[in-house]
Chains A and B, each alone.
Chain A
Amino acid sequence: MNQRTTLILVALISLAILCISPYLGLANNTAEIQHHILTQLRIPRILFTFLAGSGLALCGMVFQAMFHNPLATPFTLGVASGASLGAAIYVYLGLSFSLLGIDGGAFAAFAGALIAISFVYAVSRYQNGFSPETLLLTGVAISFFFSSLILFTQYLSNLTDSFEIMRWLMGSLTTVGYDEVLQLLPFVTLCTGVILWLSRELNLLMAGDDIALSRGVPVHTIRYVLFIVTSLCVGAIVALCGPIGFVGMMVPHICRLFVGADHRWLIPTTLLFGGSFLIVCDTIARLIIAPADIPVGVITTLLGGPFFLWLLIKSRAKLA
């Protein structure tokens, strides 16, 4: 199957998922209630989920290309923990502001994400290169460090705030409405636009920094730009629905197996597949013990853990 056919197929499947999933689990209600659920709850939730899934998958794809490692994603490198900490502190301090219609929590999460990524980058620069082991261990260390700071914040908070932080840390899409969709849209659009604009640079970054530089890519500038847009996007997603793990690792890796490493094909495929993948996970989370709604982060992490191990074992085998 060539790249074009694969992309068209993924697009059709995504369209089907977008159309079918809102109607699942609607039964046992009057027509009026069904209509209300559909327009006021389901449709915004599906739209938001699609945006969040696309954004997470694209950011994961960018990290994998920049660090030349399928295990490097905003989550494994501690960027999502940084964003979570930022948002937790925002809740704890009881802050409430918005700028240009965007909630302050998103900015706090963005700041946290940027601090985390700068730290990872500084450590790997100091080490004079991105050895995969150093990179992942740095990410793990940062995740633990930020997680304990989040726990500390939670401990200091009152019961309501603490519950709010905890629920949101599980990564849930239960409470989103049209407002959240509109909040997230500019971030994901900006991030997608920049990534599309830089698709040739991403191809070369994937081949390694030395090759990218010798072909003429201003690697350091490009990396800063990508750090900022991915931090913005991950920050906004984490602030609005909590850290939903592993989407950014699984989706781009699977897409790469299907359409190859050329980002001109990989970007649209990852965008569509990431969005519909998260919708499927969320639909499972919604239906599996209905009427209870499991946080979707639980589902993605249940799938992602084994996937991570599989990648780890496979990459070891390849090195040996």
Chain B
Amino acid sequence: MTTLLEVKNLGFSINNNPLLSDINFQLSAGEHLCILGPNGAGKSSLLKILMGILPASTGQITLNQSDLSLLPQKLRAQQLSYVPQSHKGLQFFSVEEFIKMARYAYHSALSDWQPEDKQAVERAISITHTEDFLHRKMDTLSGGEAQRVMIAAALCQQTPLLLLDEPTSFLDPRHQVEVHQLISDLNQKHNITIIEVSHDLNHAAQHSQHILALKNGKTQWYGNSPDLLNNTHLQALYDQDFVFTTHPQTGAKIALASEQL
């Protein structure tokens, strides 16, 4: 498989206070990478650096063998799209307006709406099943609906790589399953490479190929996803003991935080 993204010795600090240091990983086209780690480990910052929202302090990111830092933001948005963790201040937009705005990177100030724009928007809407609430305002959506709209907008950018920041953290179980299923479909059916920040380590272990585990801004563990599920790794990562069982339906290994009895 070809390498899509390569991150070398990446570091990020604010006021000489290092929040990320020495991050290294590679991503093949079509892969699903999960980034795990305790709160404050620097997971979201890493995604924001990749998206160009935060500036890297050191290191190099290459995408398709070219240096990402040299890419203007508009061209970057044709390569990477991003679903943020929280989204406020969207109350003025209708769902349709918000999704269509995501075609920005393919337009200049004077260019007209093209057939391929219409196609991209329709495709994104049908993949995410957001047809039914296109005319509603963004602030009237439930958590699950809003997350699907955010993903639809990112899909309009037609990027080979999609960055998701805790896409299921604020959702109830039903909508968690729904959004997880959507992400798996994007990865497997639509061949989109995915980097997902998550707290759901069982989901990550089963559905992603690789896991990058961060702690205090450093790589704690990096490898094939199912291998993370043992007490040594998880204890080191979360400072918490875990016990293991199997999923009654699928037989997959499940980690549960251990309790003091």
Contacts and interface: CB of A to CB of B under 8 A. Distances in A.
Contacts of B82: 210, 214
A208 B91 CA distance: 12
Contacts of B104: 200-201, 204, 215-217
Contacts of B51: 210, 213-214
Contact of A218 (B72, B92, B109): B72
B101 A204 contact: yes
Contact of A215 (B75, B88, B92, B157): B157
B244 interface: no
Contacts of B101: 200, 203-204, 207, 215
A130 to B, nearest CB: 10
A210 B14 contact: no
Contacts, number: 79
A260 interface: yes
Given A200-B109, A207-B98, A211-B87, A218 B81 contact: no
B93 interface: yes
Given A213-B51, A213-B53, A218-B73, A206 B105 contact: no
Given A200-B107, A213-B73, A208 B88 contact: yes
Interface string B63-87: 0000000001111111011101001
A218 B107 CA distance: 14
Given A213-B51, A216-B74, A262 B84 contact: no
Nearest to B108: A200
B53 A209 contact: yes
A223 interface: no
Query: On chain B, which size bracket covers the interface?
Result: 20 to 34
B73 A128 contact: no
B77 A210 contact: no
Contact of B89 (A68, A201, A203): A68
B73 A216 contact: yes
Interface of A, helix, strand, loop or mixed by DSSP: helix
A188 B81 CA distance: 36
Contact of A206 (B81, B92, B107): B92
Contacts of A206: 89, 92-93
Contact of B97 (A213, A217, A218, A262): A262
A261 interface: yes
Contacts of A68: 89
A261 B92 contact: yes
B92 A260 contact: yes
Nearest to A209: B53
B233 interface: no
Interface in B52-70: 52-53
Interface of B: 14, 48, 51-53, 72-78, 80-82, 84, 87-90, 92-94, 97-98, 101-102, 104-105, 107, 109, 154, 157
13 contacts: A200-B104, A200-B107, A204-B101, A210-B51, A210-B84, A214-B154, A215-B104, A216-B75, A216-B77, A217-B74, A218-B73, A219-B73, A261-B92
8 closest A-B pairs by beta carbon, nearest first, are A216-B77, A261-B92, A216-B105, A214-B82, A216-B74, A218-B73, A215-B104, A68-B89
Interface of A: 68, 128, 197-201, 203-204, 206-211, 213-219, 256, 260-262
Given A197-B109, A200-B107, A215-B77, 14 more contacts: A200-B101, A201-B104, A206-B89, A206-B93, A207-B87, A208-B84, A214-B51, A214-B52, A214-B80, A216-B105, A218-B72, A218-B73, A218-B74, A260-B93
